[in-house]
Amino acid sequence: MGNTITEKILMAHTALKKISAGQLINARVDIALGNDVTAPIAINEFQKAGGKKVFDKNKVALVLDHFTPNKDINSAQQCKAVREFALKQKVTHFYEGGQVGIEHALLPEQGIVLPGDLVIGADSHTCTYGALGAFATGVGSTDLAAVMLTGELWFKVPQSIKFVVYGKLQKWVSGKDLILHIIGRIGVDGALYKAMEFTGETIGKLPMADRLSMANMAIEAGAKNGIFAPDAITREYVKKRAKRDYKFYTSDADAVYSDIIEINAGDIEPQVAFPHLPSNVKPISKAGKVKIDQSLIGSCTNGRIEDLRIAAQILKKRKAASHVRLIVVPATPAIYKQALKEGLIEIFMNADAIISPPSCGACLGGHMGILAEGERAVSTTNRNFVGRMGHPKSEVYLASPAVAAASAVLGRIASPLEL
Amino acid sequence: MIFKGKVWKFGDNVDTDAIIPARYLTTSDSRELAAHCMEDADPNFVVRMKPGDIILGGENFGCGSSREHAPIAIKAAGIACVVAKSFARIFYRNAFNMGLPIFESRELGDAIREGEKITVDSAKGTITVTKENKTFMINPIPPFMEKLIADGGLMKHISRK
């Protein structure tokens, strides 16, 4: 019996010769990530356990991206604590200030996470790196502390669900729409404790930015990880970024899956997840007239240059409706610079958009774009739980950058085809 | 371990933003976090609950963010344990790692009303509804997780090795 890509990567990080779903293992970690919200607890646990030195300063990444630029005194204190630790430990991948980007856009972009890696992050959207053919999963702060101390962590080898996606994507339909559709189909616990393996002809042609958006939201279906078999598109993405060796793994033809789900992508319209669950998905044609107060284009799901290009294509020579606050968040400094170079930032500013520095703030209701009572936002982010972006009585509608841009212009949830 | 307490009932998919909204994540102080425990699911929860009470969730309890602030807030508020039909995986890990007792029972939730008293006996693997003297089985805890609890959480477990 063969193994899935997830099983193979996990096994490669142990001394085991055989591995199967359900097994509890201790595995070596290649990269361990924390941010300004989760790292302070991890650092405290690390020190309480007598930790003096992190297991490998090149394998820890600390990214101050959540409440930065510092929102208030408390968040400044948290950042200070992480900074002091990072400098003392000489952590190689420490990002703050003008070098910081949203962690899950930054780490792949900088070649810090690579195919075949085992990555853990004290952030649930760590699953993003599965797009590169890595095993990547979100954990808590105590897990991060344990890895910083020992370089290892316990895992239960997950069963895998295989998604076979075929058919040609319609205009304005992206990886974001595919993953929203899938979550709508299987539910927010449809892949609980499992790996979501994305395969099929549509996936084979899907650009890396779309794969990253899809893997990013695997957690919204309860999954442990989302994963794509690395291919020529992966190679093209990583070859100019990697500063160390990496390895491509693929699933065996006789690998065992708990379920195989076929998706005809040709049938899928742009999707919108209504409040208050990412699974509450409707095709845009059935969204009805939903007036919005804010449109957010950015985040670890959709703040990449490709996303900004799509938004700019729609916003060019147009303006956000007068009652809509349009916020654009380039996810990393490199994306910001590229957007400037391509004239995208000017297009956004001419459309009356607010340009935010790279930050997770607005997505989690932290700062830089909070919603008031009764307000509605269309957002390219990944969660629309109660109070996610502000007041407990505000609403978040999740969609692609194309839909968020068109909605900003029309002042209601809208398809780009309506423009 | 035996936990006896009054049950506070919540629905399916209670997410970590409801357990501890991100607006309070500028601190990891457990007392401050406890003051906002379950705030976006029930704003009066912390006022009405008493130490030793038990949270009863539905499916996928603790879904969403990896924030360990969620189990920290619940534990620091004085909740004895959480029982749910199922737990989201990062919350499940976090609870065992940091020492918040959690138990899975598929039947209990539908069988009792909020405010009823239950007794959870982790050694026997049972939950008893005090008033009706009805007993439900807890899903067995994997031996490794039992070891984690016995050692006092993940950090103590690895220090012991």
Contact B66 A49 (CB under 8 A): no
- For A394, nearest residue in chain B (alpha carbons): B40
Q: In this complex, is the C-beta atom of B53 within 8 Å of any C-beta atom belonging to chain A?
A: no
The pair of three-digit structure tokens given for residue A114, joined into one six-digit string: 């690579």
CA nearest neighbour of A263 among A178, A332, A347: A178
The pair of three-digit structure tokens given for residue A104, joined into one six-digit string: 């899950």
- CATH number belonging to domain A271-418: 3.30.499.10
Question: What's the confidence (pLDDT) of residue B150?
Answer: 85
Contact A49 B155 (CB under 8 A): yes
Q: For each of chain A's 419 residues, which pLDDT tens digit applies? A: 899 999 999 999 999 999 999 999 999 999 999 999 999 999 999 999 999 999 999 999 999 999 999 999 999 999 999 999 999 999 999 999 999 999 999 999 999 999 999 999 999 999 999 999 999 999 999 999 999 999 999 999 999 999 999 999 999 999 999 999 999 999 999 999 999 999 999 999 999 999 999 999 999 999 999 999 999 999 999 999 999 999 999 999 999 999 999 999 999 999 999 999 999 999 999 999 999 999 999 999 999 999 999 999 999 999 999 999 999 999 999 999 999 999 999 999 999 999 999 999 999 999 999 999 999 999 999 999 999 999 999 999 999 999 999 999 999 999 999 99
Q: Identify which of B21, B64, B153 has the shortest CB distance to residue A142.
A: B153
Question: What residues in A contact B72, CB-CB < 8 Å?
Answer: 41
Contact A142 B144 (CB under 8 A): no
Question: What's the confidence (pLDDT) of residue A338?
Answer: 98
Phi-psi region of A165 (alpha: psi -120 to 50; beta: other; left: phi over 0): beta
Question: What residues in B contact A139, CB-CB < 8 Å?
Answer: 66, 90, 93-94
The pair of three-digit structure tokens given for residue A270, joined into one six-digit string: 């742009």
How far B48 CA lies from chain A's nearest CA (Å)? 20
pTM > 0.80: yes or no: yes
pLDDT above 90 for B132: no
Domain extent listing, chain A: 5-263, 271-418
> Per this entry, what is the length of chain A?
419
CA nearest neighbour of B65 among B37, B104, B94: B94
* Domain A5-263: homologous superfamily in CATH: Aconitase, domain 3 (3.30.499.10)
Q: What are phi and psi of A311, to 5 degrees?
A: -60, -40
The pair of three-digit structure tokens given for residue A145, joined into one six-digit string: 């502390």
- Per the CB < 8 A criterion, the answer to whether A55 and A147 are in contact is yes
Sign of CA dihedral A208, A213, A216, A221: negative
Tell me the residue range of the domain where B129 lies: 2-160
CA nearest neighbour of A215 among A66, A224, A297, A256: A224
Question: What's the confidence (pLDDT) of residue A295?
Answer: 98
Partners of B3 in the β-ladder: B120
Spatial distance between the Cα atoms of A96 and A65, rounded to a whole number of angstroms: 7
Question: What's the confidence (pLDDT) of residue A71?
Answer: 97
In this structure, the number of other CB atoms found within 10 A of the CB of residue B51 comes to 9
Omega prior to A276 cis, within 30 of 0: yes
How far A230 CA lies from chain B's nearest CA (Å)? 26
Contact A189 B88 (CB under 8 A): yes
Interface test with A, best of B63, B104, B161 (most A CBs within 10 A): B63
Q: In this complex, is the C-beta atom of B104 within 8 Å of any C-beta atom belonging to chain A?
A: no
Partners of A262 in the β-ladder: A164
- Per the CB < 8 A criterion, the answer to whether B34 and B73 are in contact is yes
Q: In this complex, is the C-beta atom of B46 within 8 Å of any C-beta atom belonging to chain A?
A: no
Q: Are strands A325-328 and A354-355 parallel, antiparallel or unpaired?
A: parallel
Helices (H) and strands (E) in chain B, counts: 8, 7
Spatial distance between the Cα atoms of B116 and B137, rounded to a whole number of angstroms: 18
pLDDT band at B133 (very low <50, low <70, confident <90, very high): confident
Question: What's the confidence (pLDDT) of residue B131?
Answer: 85
Query: In a 3-state reduction of DSSP, which class is residue A124?
Result: helix
Q: Identify which of B18, B65, B97 has the shortest CB distance to residue A386.
A: B18
List all residues 6 or more positions away from A119 whose beta carbon is below 8 Å from its beta carbon. Answer: A29, A30, A31, A32, A33, A113, A126, A129, A134, A135, A136, A137
pLDDT, chain B, mean: 94
- Per the CB < 8 A criterion, the answer to whether A78 and A172 are in contact is no
Q: Identify which of B59, B64, B72 has the shortest CB distance to residue A124.
A: B64
Contact A192 B88 (CB under 8 A): yes
The pair of three-digit structure tokens given for residue A229, joined into one six-digit string: 């078999």
Question: What's the confidence (pLDDT) of residue B152?
Answer: 85
Lowest-pLDDT range, A155-164, A373-382, B12-21, B138-147?
Answer: B138-147
Contact B153 A154 (CB under 8 A): no
Residue range B53-69: average pLDDT?
Answer: 97
Contact B144 A67 (CB under 8 A): no
Question: What residues in B contact A136, CB-CB < 8 Å?
Answer: none
CA nearest neighbour of A209 among A338, A29, A368: A338
pLDDT band at B141 (very low <50, low <70, confident <90, very high): confident
pLDDT above 90 for B144: no
Q: Are strands B117-121 and B2-9 parallel, antiparallel or unpaired?
A: antiparallel
Domain count, chain B: 1
Question: What value of ipTM does the predicted structure carry?
Answer: 0.96
In this structure, the number of other CB atoms found within 10 A of the CB of residue B65 comes to 30
Spatial distance between the Cα atoms of A178 and A169, rounded to a whole number of angstroms: 9
Residue range B31-38: average pLDDT?
Answer: 98
Q: Identify which of A71, A143, A222 has the shortest CB distance to residue B26.
A: A71
Q: What are phi and psi of A214, to 5 degrees?
A: -70, -50
CATH at B44: 3.20.19.10
- Tell me which residue has tokens 């654009």: A328
Q: HEC profile for B59-123?
A: CCECECCCCCHHHHHHHHHCCCEEEECCECHHHHHHHHHHCCCEEECCCHHHHCCCCCEEEEECC
A12 by Cβ neighbours in 10 Å (0-12 / 13-18 / 19+) ranks as middle
Contact B97 A142 (CB under 8 A): yes
Contact B67 A37 (CB under 8 A): yes
- For B91, nearest residue in chain A (alpha carbons): A140
- Per the CB < 8 A criterion, the answer to whether A405 and A317 are in contact is no
Question: What residues in A contact B65, CB-CB < 8 Å?
Answer: 123-124, 364, 383
Q: What is the DSSP string of A203-237?
A: HHT--HHHHHHHHHTGGGGT-SEEEE---HHHHHH
Query: In a 3-state reduction of DSSP, which class is residue A255?
Result: strand
Contact A142 B66 (CB under 8 A): no
Spatial distance between the Cα atoms of B148 and B157, rounded to a whole number of angstroms: 6
Spatial distance between the Cα atoms of B144 and B80, rounded to a whole number of angstroms: 22
Question: What's the confidence (pLDDT) of residue B130?
Answer: 85
How far A155 CA lies from chain B's nearest CA (Å)? 10
Q: Identify which of B13, B28, B155 has the shortest CB distance to residue A145.
A: B155
Question: What residues in A contact B68, CB-CB < 8 Å?
Answer: 38, 41, 122, 140-142
3-state helix, strand, coil in chain B (%, to 5): 35, 20, 45
How far A169 CA lies from chain B's nearest CA (Å)? 29
3-state helix, strand, coil in chain A (%, to 5): 35, 20, 45
Question: What residues in B contact A48, CB-CB < 8 Å?
Answer: 155
Contact B90 A124 (CB under 8 A): yes
The domains spanning A5-263 and A271-418 adopt the same CATH topology:
yes
- A114 half-sphere exposure, CB direction, 13 A CA radius: 18
Q: How many CB pairs under 8 A join A and B?
A: 136
